[in-house]
Amino acid sequence: MKKKLLYILALSASLATTGCSDKFLQDMKSYDKYDESIFTNDVQTNWYINRLYNYYFVNYRNPSLSVVGLYNDTRSRMTEEFGGTVGDYINSTKNIQLASEADTYYGNNVSASVQNNPYTRIRFCTFLINKIDGVGQSLPEAFRKTSKGQMFFLRALQYFDLVRVYGGVPIVTTVENASSVDEAIRLPRAKTSEVYAQIVKDLDSAAANLPMIWSEPGTNYGRVTAAGALAMKSRVLVTAASPLYNKDWDNPGSEKWQKALQAGLEAEIALTNAGYGLFGTNAKDWAEMTFRNDNSFNKEALMVFLLSTNQTSSAGYNNSWENSVRPTDYKGGGGIAAPKGMIDLFPLADGSRPNASNYVDTFFFENRDPRFYRTFAFSGAKWPMKGSDNRSTWFYRWRASATGTTTYYANNQSNTPVLVRKMSNPAADSTAFAFSGTDIFEYRYAELLLNIAEAYAATGNTAKAVEYIGKIRARVGIPAANNYGLGTISSRYAAIEAVLYERRVELAYEGKRFWDIHRWMLYDNNEYSGNSVTKLGLTPINGTSRKGYYWQCKDYGAANANPLTAADRAILIDPDNTATFATEIAKLKTLYRNKFVMTPLDQEWDRVNNVPVTILFRTNYYLSGLSATLLANNSWLTQTKGWQDASGAAGTFEYQD
């Protein structure tokens, strides 16, 4: 069991151990109950900082979630990684463009009671930044620096999600009193490029004030660092250089791509010198990185969120992922079925991509990238839990007759024969899956290398792009031959696409795919993308749907009995056991040939009102409009192009600048 709670989400526990009251937490519910004197005391300052971490990350309970403060899976479920949930923004039967339908993430006016919305979080960050050096002179300079550094980082993080949701937004770097008549605080929407410049400025300040690795890791591990700030700058600038925000993205000499490359390389040097890098030397290490060496420094974790096994909510927060991915017969939540497109996506063992000549989807489990076997679970694959080290499960069904009742093995009803298992702890306790303490690696060193690869590709240096992808593949054991299976990549478009492909594999189910689709505008070619989909040689996501299928027994179950015997299921595919792995794969292949057939779903996975639909993400959805309430109360703010304002007029704010 974890001994250390997630400090950023366990303020109540720290108050209990210090014997202090929770008056401060109550006071933070309004702006007028405390002043800058709070920063004259290091204990109170830490309470303030920790509470702000809570405001940011209290809902961050599994790795597929995103957007600061919200942390929901709405965006992940608009990708190929998940099927079955057709939200409004990919629902082809809807056409959203009214201000009343716009995203409400921005929040509304400040009231007497503090609402945990983006500009509240920005205000609290800015308050400390502006005040601590003035009133906190008695505090050690090092403490003041790290306090400010965390606030610069968190403020940048908040502006980054605002710009990803809306494009340009007002930039606020001072604390002002709320007023309906003060013209000075009626800030207009800044240009998108200006918001990105502010984010970079804050990240530079964070890096200058924070340590690369915190001392006293038993207390501080999990706080943001200079390493995270430098890496985040790379992510931010790669995003800013992408087609959504950069009309000049197709120019290898684009200043934005050059800045992104420079930031990535500078981060790589600094982080490597500080001891960061790819964790481990093989696929087994890759699979175990999030739960091995629990609560101690992990060289791959550039932003890590520590979670608790404590079952008391006031003492810590748990990772909901373990319960989500475990199937019914493990006493889990039922599992996350991987759409067929994800199953077929992963490379083969030599790093080459599956195609009609080298891959048979019936035997998807044969000869795959080592990461495949650690990302997915399928029938016969070893998936341990506490007290059951050699356990596997099965995902198939049978019928009592041609028209008879359908039964699923062990009640494991799934829309594909493959479930997601990535980031699942093999020692997890089935009596406490809902109280998993597996840490979330929001930013891994591998992503930094892929950011560098993408910037190299976009600037036309395909050889360097291939080299950096190769580092990712070498770590998991893909052979070096033929450029780690990448082959010869001669064009910058092919190199960019190769990086985006590698991100889909390496970062699968880590909450990153939507943002790659988003910034590259991959749902379809449109007026803003510069035909990015076509130029990269991709198929638009619009017009597609998430597909599934069953493994169904060829034989009927007499009296609805299971047609397979225990002997049939005596298969244990363990990718870490080189002595048996190939043999067990061959057994499963033979069993499938003899006993199973690939059967379509009873009804399409993606449906609206029980009618099959295909994905349609409209151009104006890439950057949301401002809500009707916000516009009505802030008349100086302009609406985004593609959306109607509060009075029904067409928006005029241009987000590509």
Averages of pLDDT over runs of 10 residues in the chain (657 residues) are: 35 30 44 79 96 96 97 98 95 97 85 80 97 96 98 98 98 83 85 98 98 90 97 98 98 98 98 98 97 85 93 81 98 98 98 98 98 98 97 96 94 98 97 95 98 98 98 98 97 98 98 98 94 98 98 93 96 98 98 98 96 97 97 94 96 94
CA distance 54 to 348: 42
Distance of CA 525 to the CA centre of its chain: 24
The interaxial angle of helices 141-166 and 118-135, nearest 10 deg, is 160
Strand duo 418-420 + 376-378: pairing:
antiparallel
pLDDT at 505: 99
Whole-number pLDDT of residue 180: 65
pLDDT at residue number 19: 29
Adjacent-strand bridge partners of 406 = 399
pLDDT of residue 8: 35
C-alpha 589/C-alpha 550 separation (Å) is 16
Q: Cα(439)–Cα(432) distance, rounded to whole angstroms?
A: 16
- 3-class DSSP string for 133-170: HHHCCCCCHHHHHHHHHHHHHHHHHHHHHHHHHHCCCC
How large is the C-alpha radius of gyration of the chain?
A: 26
Secondary structure of 340-374 in the HEC alphabet? Answer: HHHHHHCCECCCCCCCCCCCCHHHCCCCECCCHHH
Q: H/E/C letters for each residue in 534-565? A: HHCCCCCCCCCCCCCEEEEECCCCHHHCCCCC
Give the Cα separation of 432 and 61 in Å (integer): 15
pLDDT of res. 63: 98
pLDDT at 499: 99
**Eight-state DSSP code of residue 406:** E
Phi and psi angles of residue 494, each rounded to the nearest 5 degrees, phi first: -65, -35
Best CA proximity match to 278, nearest among 464, 476, 467, 451 = 476
How long a stretch of residues is the chain? 657
> What pLDDT does 458 receive?
98
pTM above 0.85, yes or no: yes
Please state, as a whole number, how many other Cβ atoms lie within 10 Å of the Cβ of residue 481. Answer: 9
Domain boundaries, the chain: 324-420+546-611
